[in-house]
Amino acid sequence: MELVILVLCSFFLLALIKFLYDYLWIPLRIQHILNSQGIKGPPYRFIHGNNKEVDKMRKEALTKTLGLTDEIFPKVQPHIYTWINRYGRNYLCWNGPRAELVISEPELVKETLKNTEAFSKGKISVYFDKLLGNGLVTIEGEKWVKHRKLANFVFHGESLKNMTPAVIAGVETMLEKWKGQEGKEIEVFGEFRLLTSEVISRTAFGSNYLEGEKIFAMLNRLSIIAGQNIHKTGIPFINKFWKTADLIESEQLGKGIQECVMNIIKKREDKVVNGEADNFGIDFLGLLVSAYHDSEEKNRLSLEDLVGECKTFYFAGQETVNSLLAWIVFLLAVHGDWQEKARREVLQIFGNQNPDPDGIIKLKTISMIINETLRLYGPTNGLPREIRREVQLGKLVLPANINLHVQNIALHHDPHLWGDDAHLFKPERFAEGIAKATNHNAAAFFPFGLGPRSCVGMTFATTETKIVLSMILQRYTFTLSPAYVHSPTPIIALRPQSGIQIILESLHNDA
Ligand code: HEM
């Protein structure tokens, strides 16, 4: 009996020592190392780090609406805004016991994003794993090289040109629904949700929105849960035995998505098995399924990877462009002069014909508007990285096992980089290209990331956006509805909290 008590006591003592080591000793040590190099930040608080402060600031920001200003940084990332102003452009904060170095100095950002070996993608939370796990956004090493090759092939060059008719067909379906809505209110974030879902379904998966409908609904719910849990502290040992409602729901959603994706894959396989097709197809799904069946092991994709890539592209291909389109329409509804300039350009290049690849590359004003929208209302809320071993970044020597957080909105709204009018919508700053738009050339503007891990869907996203805008501008003028409330909110991408309501007027009396 005494022996049992002794063993139990020793076990609890060891567990306590390990707990104090992880939750007290390591954080205080890292804090000391970085403080001594001039990096300051909100002090580490036992177990929770700064999560409670972040949660409080974010909840307060959610209840506030803005006037029609584009100075959205304090509302969208209130903690980062506050701490950059208090502690400087690079500061240390705490996600639970995990150190997070937030960097918003262009030279350091460039160095971080270009060096994928020292600054890797890092571990993702269980929620993000359900959303993007085993897909291109999160994988690394040789597996990443293999997957990136496949995606590069599909989302660039000729393959991309061949997608134009599918995008146009999707926009036509949306515009057909808009007929008869002139003078009435339309909520465009929801409209673009359907449209971007339809477009990625048609172009990457050779199916229509209805087939992916359930997947999109589940991914959407999962993204809301994942967003809510970014700053929640989990204690691994306790979480094994006690699951939160969010964790249970996300596990169910993860299973549901997996089943639906498997059905879509199976349908594609059945076509070949039944002799309806002699190959799996040349769209993204076709290439993935072919790689899954590849006879050479080194080229083969596992089932997990196949499912991971499908959900990654369903999600990344839809959510981001949905956000971008909605904010462009918002800005053009407010800035009628730029809406008019854009329309003039579209009518000059395409007349009333549908957009074509040769004309799309000539859309200069629209490109300026897209860049300025990405600067002010970029869809992504930070680029996470991880340091696994001690590494030098600029003059800093960073210890192992800390996270890095590259905050694009901090740079995109920084008056030192963009001038005193940084918070104003001025597409003309991009008139001579991205390099000349800012007084700093290192990494002031990177809405699609930088270096090897930059966005594989960039050209696809901008082409889709240009087609959609051109086709709307050819038919309608639009203004903001008086019902609109300005409240940009970061979920995973930046969303309008209650949608974007506009009023359409037809350019043609017969519409
Ligand atoms: C306006 C639209 C978009 C924006 C602003 C955007 C932004 C980004 C950014 C910032 C990254 C880099 C993340 C990092 O370094 O951690 C990224 C990566 C990625 N994006 Fe996009 N994206 C957009 C559209 C798309 C689309 C349409 C697709 C798919 C068709 C896509 C698929 C991906 C993938 C798979 C990666 C990971 C690439 C890799 O690590 O090799 N994105 N995106």
List, as one string, the DSSP characters of 70-139. Answer: S--HHHHSHHHHHHHHHH-SSEEEEETTEEEEEE--HHHHHHHHH-TTTSB-----HHHHHHHTTSTTT-
Confidence class of residue 237 from pLDDT cuts 50, 70 and 90? Answer: low
Tell me the best of 139, 148, 305, 455 to mutate to test the pocket of ligand 1, counting ligand atoms within 8 Å of each CB and taking the most. 455
The ligand 1 atom at the shortest distance from the C-alpha of residue 320 is 2
Enter the DSSP assignment of 481: -
CA distances from 374 to 187, 409, 427, 445 (A): 21, 10, 11, 9
Q: Is the pLDDT of residue 58 over 60?
A: yes
Q: Identify the residue with better confidence: 421 or 6.
A: 421
- Rounded to an integer, the average pLDDT of 380-398 is 94
Ligand 1 touching residue 308 (CB < 6 A): no
In a domain, 104, yes or no: yes
Query: 15 C-alpha to center of ligand 1: Å?
Result: 41
Nearest CA to ligand 1 atom 9: 448
Identify the CATH number of the domain in which residue 313 sits: 1.10.630.10
Nearest CA to ligand 1 atom 8: 448
In a domain, 16, yes or no: no
Query: 449 C-alpha to center of ligand 1: Å?
Result: 8
Nearest CA to ligand 1 atom 20: 455
pLDDT at 145: 93
Range of the domain at 480: 37-506
pLDDT at 208: 74
In a domain, 30, yes or no: no
Ligand 1 touching residue 148 (CB < 6 A): yes
**162 sits in which H/E element:** none
pLDDT tens-digit map of 418-433: 999 999 999 999 999 9
Query: 453 C-alpha to center of ligand 1: Å?
Result: 9
pLDDT tens-digit map of 393-410: 999 999 999 999 999 999
In a domain, 414, yes or no: yes
**Strand 98-103 with 402-406, pairing:** parallel
In a domain, 32, yes or no: no
Ligand 1 touching residue 448 (CB < 6 A): yes
Nearest CA to ligand 1 atom 42: 457
In a domain, 174, yes or no: yes
pLDDT tens-digit map of 178-228: 999 999 999 999 999 999 999 999 888 887 777 778 888 899 899 889 888
Task: Indicate the number of domains in the chain.
Answer: 1
Ligand 1 touching residue 453 (CB < 6 A): yes
Ligand 1 touching residue 139 (CB < 6 A): no
Enter the DSSP assignment of 195: H
Confidence class of residue 157 from pLDDT cuts 50, 70 and 90? Answer: confident
Q: How far apart are CA 430 and CA 427, in angstroms?
A: 6
In a domain, 17, yes or no: no
170's CB contacts (< 8 A; 6+ apart) are 195, 198, 199, 202
Query: 458 C-alpha to center of ligand 1: Å?
Result: 7
Nearest CA to ligand 1 atom 16: 383
In a domain, 12, yes or no: no
The ligand 1 atom at the shortest distance from the C-alpha of residue 374 is 5
